[in-house]
A and B are shown apart, each in its own frame.
Chain A
Amino acid sequence: MRPFEYIAPSSAEEALALLAENGETARLLAGGTDLVVDLKHNAGNTNLLIDVSGIPQFRGIEETSKGVRLGSMTTFSEIMASSIFQEKMPAVIDGAHTVGAVQTRNLGTIGGNFVTCVPSADSAPSIMVLDATVKLTGLAGSREMPVADFFVGPRKTALKPGELLESIFIPKASLGKPSAFLKHGLRKGQALALVNGAAALWLDKDGKILEPRLALGAVAPVPLRAVKTEVFLAGKSATDDVINEAAELAVSESRPIDDFRASANYRRQIIKVFTQRVLKESIRIARES
């Protein structure tokens, strides 16, 4: 591995000062499941690792009157063990459970997964459908944006130099919202998603779909909110015809690629089937609740 210095600052201020001082030669270390592998294989110009994984401000899951704040350095195992997520956002746990394996989920953090920003990120869809926002912090202050806007391109986020991802926020209105997540990989364990996806919606007393959300991964350069499909579904009755039409729309909104894991055509088939399944499952949960 390329030689580097290692510092584990105890506060956000200290971490941001180090980041500003060292510019592009410094990298922030979260779980390290991506970064350490990168440092083994790509020499790059990294001379300093700033380990932010233990900084209290970036850790933990906290419910307030406005919603749930999820520290960016929370590991996938911690999310899975959280009673808040188990009770109010089970689809997020389903997403977290498909990340890597036990050993990588004990290390890997949701913030790290977001910042790595691959189109197939398994943690993204189930969080995106809850209208979550991210909080980015730099020396000049903080700013917030929807999760979907944070993902700019493959391995490219909205973070500016000197900024870091502090936390993710899920608004109160989304807690307990009927939601489902699915992932299709070539194996059950440790597979990169060929397609992953999540839906969330409410049903009114007449069975009409309210505030539908659909997010799909590995189907476009970034995890995708299928906005046209959402607009189509809003106010419609939850019938098979509507679900099938929504699935066709989701396919038309996606831009899957051919690669060695699957062809774009195959991915389009999966997008269709998965959109149907996550919608049906969300509708089933909504009817039961």
Chain B
Amino acid sequence: MLVELTVNGEWKSADCPPETTLLKFLREHLMLTGAKLGCDVGDCGTCTVIVDGESYNSCLMLAARAAGRDVTTIEGLADSQGVHPIQEAFEELGSLQCGFCGPGMIMSAKNLLDKNPTASRHEIKDALSGNLCRCTGYTKIIEAIEGAGRIMSSDKYSQSNTF
């Protein structure tokens, strides 16, 4: 079946079997390998992408369900001006070790901070409960999201927000 959708601001289309998940569609048909295949059952969250402003496990969503919709993946966060404040904060704090959970962590963080940039530590933990990290113990991930939230809630950021 032909699936047409917007990915990171660009209109894309590809032919795929109906049983193709959105994750497989992104990785194997559009060659966007940022979202990772982890558990493949919706537990680990490393496949997290944002569709029409809400985060989803792309391993559980059929590509057909995303047809005509607006998908943002980790590849859509940086632009010619630089990386997203969340990416910058993760880098500065060394929030990741192996990095496999990173794309999902950052997309979950973006989903939270876009709606609530002043999220409390409790709200951040709640928002990350569907993203597993086996290296870090989460502390620096949470600190990075708090820091990114401070930047994203500042007046300067909201005026120059191009993301």
Q: Which residues of A contact B (CB under 8 A)?
A: 1-6, 8, 29, 31-33, 36-37, 39-40, 49, 51, 53, 77, 100-104, 106-107, 188-190
Query: Which residue of chain A is the closest to B111 with respect to CB atoms?
Result: A102
In whole angstroms, what is the CA distance A5 to B130 when docked?
30
Chain B residues numbered 42-88 whose CB sits less than 8 Å from any CB in chain A: 42-43, 45, 48, 54-57, 60-62, 64-65
Q: Which of B16-24, B92-100, B152-160 contacts A (4 or more CB under 8 A)?
A: B16-24
Determine whether the beta carbon of A103 is less than 8 Å from that of B57. yes
Partner among A31, A40, A104, A188 whose Cβ is within 8 Å of the Cβ of B40: A40
Minimal beta-carbon separation of A11 from chain B (angstroms): 18
- Note all chain A residues with C-beta closer than 8 A to B18: 3-6, 49
- Note all chain A residues with C-beta closer than 8 A to B61: 32, 36, 107
B interface residue count range (under 10 / 10 to 19 / 20 to 34 / 35 or more): 20 to 34
- Note all chain A residues with C-beta closer than 8 A to B42: 33, 37, 100, 103-104
Question: Other than the known A29-B62, A106-B56, A107-B56, what 20 A-B pairs have Cβ atoms closer than 8 Å?
Answer: A6-B64, A32-B60, A32-B61, A32-B62, A33-B42, A36-B62, A37-B42, A40-B40, A51-B62, A51-B64, A53-B65, A101-B129, A102-B112, A103-B57, A104-B130, A107-B60, A188-B129, A189-B129, A190-B43, A190-B130
Determine whether the beta carbon of A37 is less than 8 Å from that of B60. yes
Partner among A1, A39, A102 whose Cβ is within 8 Å of the Cβ of B129: A102
Determine whether the beta carbon of B54 is less than 8 Å from that of A39. no
Q: Which residues of B contact A (CB under 8 A)?
A: 1, 17-19, 21, 40-43, 45, 48, 54-57, 60-62, 64-65, 108, 111-112, 125-127, 129-131
Minimal beta-carbon separation of A109 from chain B (angstroms): 13
- Note all chain A residues with C-beta closer than 8 A to B17: 3
In whole angstroms, what is the CA distance A29 to B62 when docked?
10
Partner among A4, A33, A51, A103 whose Cβ is within 8 Å of the Cβ of B48: A103
What are 14 residue pairs bridging A and B, where the CB atoms are less than 8 Å apart in the complex? A6-B18, A6-B62, A33-B57, A39-B19, A51-B65, A102-B55, A102-B129, A104-B42, A104-B130, A106-B56, A107-B56, A107-B61, A189-B130, A190-B129
Query: Which residue of chain B is the closest to A187 with respect to CB atoms?
Result: B129
Determine whether the beta carbon of B19 is less than 8 Å from that of A106. no
Determine whether the beta carbon of B56 is less than 8 Å from that of A4. no
Minimal beta-carbon separation of A107 from chain B (angstroms): 6
- Note all chain B residues with C-beta closer than 8 A to A6: 1, 18-19, 62, 64
In whole angstroms, what is the CA distance A53 to B130 when docked?
22
Query: Which residue of chain A is the closest to B51 with respect to CB atoms?
Result: A106
Partner among B21, B60, B65 whose Cβ is within 8 Å of the Cβ of A104: B60
Minimal beta-carbon separation of A15 from chain B (angstroms): 15
Knowing A6-B1, A6-B64, say if A106 contacts B55 (CB, 8 Å).
yes
Top 3 closest pairs, chain A to chain B, by CB: A101-B130, A189-B129, A6-B18
